[in-house]
Structure formats: C-alpha cells, structure tokens
Amino acid sequence: MTTPVVGLALGGGGARGMAHIGVLKVLEKHNIPIHCIAGTSIGALVGSGYALHPDAKQFHARITEFIKSPQFQKAGLSRFTRKEPAENFFGQVAKYVKQRIVINLAHSKLSVVSSERLYKIISFTLENRNIEQSQIPLAVVASDLISGEAKTFTRGSIRKAVLASASIPGFLPPVTYNGHYLVDGAVTAPIPVEAVRELGANIVIAVDVGQDMLATEHATRNIVDLIFRTNSITAGSLRNQLLEKADFVIRPEVGNIHWADFSEFDRLVELGEAACEAVVEKIADAYKQRRSLVYRLTHREN
C-alpha cells in the first residue's frame, strides 16, 4: 500500500471550464491536498495557473479581473455565441466562415483565426515559466496530428504547452512544438486521467465540463451539424471510457452553456462549487482511510 497521492484531471470545454475554479475552491476549503494536476484545453489553462500558485481564491480573482478587462473583450469570443438553445461549436465556426470569409479560404488556411488571441489570454493568465517550475507537479495534454496520439508535457514552456493543448482544430492553427504538430488535447484525451496517473496519482478526481450529449433539433438540421453531431458522439464515448478510470468524477451542471459564453463566469464557478460539495466528503474519507491504512502498515510491529 502506497501513500495516497491525490491527482486532478481537468477536462476541456471552453468557458465551461471556469467551473474548475469552483472545484479547486471547495477542495481547498475542505483541506484536501492536491499532489498533482493534469489538464486538457481550458483544463490545462486553469490547472497550470493553480499549479504555479496554489491559491484558488487568488486565481479566481485574477481570472475575474481578466474577463472584465478590455483585453478579453477584444478577443471577440462573444461573436461565436448564438441565441438558439442548442450548442454546436463546429457549426458556429462554419457559420462564421460562411458569413465573414470567402469560402475558398477553407482551402488555403488552417484556421478561422490566428493563435495570437489565445496567446494573449494565456500570457495574461500564466507567467512565462516552465512546467517543471510549478509548485504542484503538472502535466499538459495536447494531441499530435501526425501520430494521432496524446502528447503529455511535463517540462518546457507552460505557455506554449497550454497554447497547443487549447488549439481547437479549424478554429485555431496547429502548434509546432518540440518536433510535434499539435492541436487540442480534447481530441485524444478530453479528460486527462491517464496523464495524471502517470504523475503518480492513485486517487484520481476527474472533472468533466463537456457538452451535454443529448441531441436537440438543431443537431441534425443540415450537413455540417450532422457531421459534427456524429463527431460529438465519438468524443463523448471516449470521454466516458476515460472517466471510468477515475476514482471520483465531478460533473458540474454546465453542459448546456455555450463554450464561448464567459458572461456566465460567476455562475460557472458556483456550479463547480456545488458539484464538488456533493462528493467532497467521499473524497475526504477515501483519502483519510488510505492514509490511515498506510500508517498502520508502516508502523505495525514486526
């Protein structure tokens, strides 16, 4: 029996990932130690910020400051939201391309927008440091377009790794880094459970902020929606397989919130808090029991 090592696996989901902050705040409040963190996409951004400076309230304040800043407004994410109740990120990208860009652009470019906007967000949120300098051991997960496998970064530039991890295919261009051609970690590891296990975690808390899988009338109203609805089903199946490998799963009720709707920031944090409060006692009990058992085994009389 080994010493309990609590690891957080923070999944991707755009703005919905702000719920991760609420989870961190509750774990801190209940004095549950976090020994390592793995993040995908928005989970990589939040996880990296916390790993550098493990203070959930301070991180919450910093993100609040940024979301209210002119720099964030200039990022233009709000243009990708729409009034319909259904969410289809890829449908929004297709609509944006159709309305704003000559259709032939799709044949000559790799993304709708440049990576500069995302990098500004990352630079504001994260210091220019290496992953190995974080106070909590950290893994950032991206997807290698060439090998088709997940690429886990535990060393090197935090900003560059997070940029790769959050580069949504078609929306942002692939990132070339350390000889790899990388896109969003959610393609191969929407919930980075395996990455946090590799860091040594034996009590894994997975936080799922993915989109609701229940289809609506908008999910199959045209060819583009149909194509990406089937893609969502495949991604959802992978997500569920990974979640089965976690010891605890926290699912904030954020699946119906648009990936780009940061106007719901305060509510997202609160939903993360509520979801974590619902299971935090079980997590605390599991940690205490394992720690107590290890103590008894290592101090028993020979």
Cα–Cα dist 112/171, whole Å: 5
The pair of structure tokens assigned to 141 is: 């997960």
Check if the beta carbon of residue 40 is closer than 8 Å to that of residue 10.
yes
Report the SS3 class of residue 206.
strand
Q: For residue 19, what are the contacts with CB-CB under 8 A and spacing of at least 6?
A: 207, 209, 252, 254, 268, 269, 271, 272, 275
| Structure-token match 């790899």, residue found | 180
Q: Is residue 41 annotated as a catalytic residue, yes or no?
A: yes
> What SS3 string covers 260-286?
CCHHHHHHHHHHHHHHHHCCHHHHHHH
Check if the beta carbon of residue 20 is closer than 8 Å to that of residue 209.
yes
Check if the beta carbon of residue 166 is closer than 8 Å to that of residue 41.
yes
Nearest to 206 by CA among 133, 131, 283, 261: 283
Which of 41, 48, 143, 165 is catalytic? The answer is 41
Check if the beta carbon of residue 70 is closer than 8 Å to that of residue 187.
no
Nearest to 73 by CA among 37, 121, 105: 121
Which of 115, 143, 167, 184 is catalytic? The answer is 184
Cα–Cα dist 251/278, whole Å: 10
Check if the beta carbon of residue 186 is closer than 8 Å to that of residue 142.
no
Cα–Cα dist 281/289, whole Å: 12
Phi, psi of 133, rounded to the nearest 5 degrees: -90, -5
User: Which residues are known to be catalytic?
Assistant: 41, 184
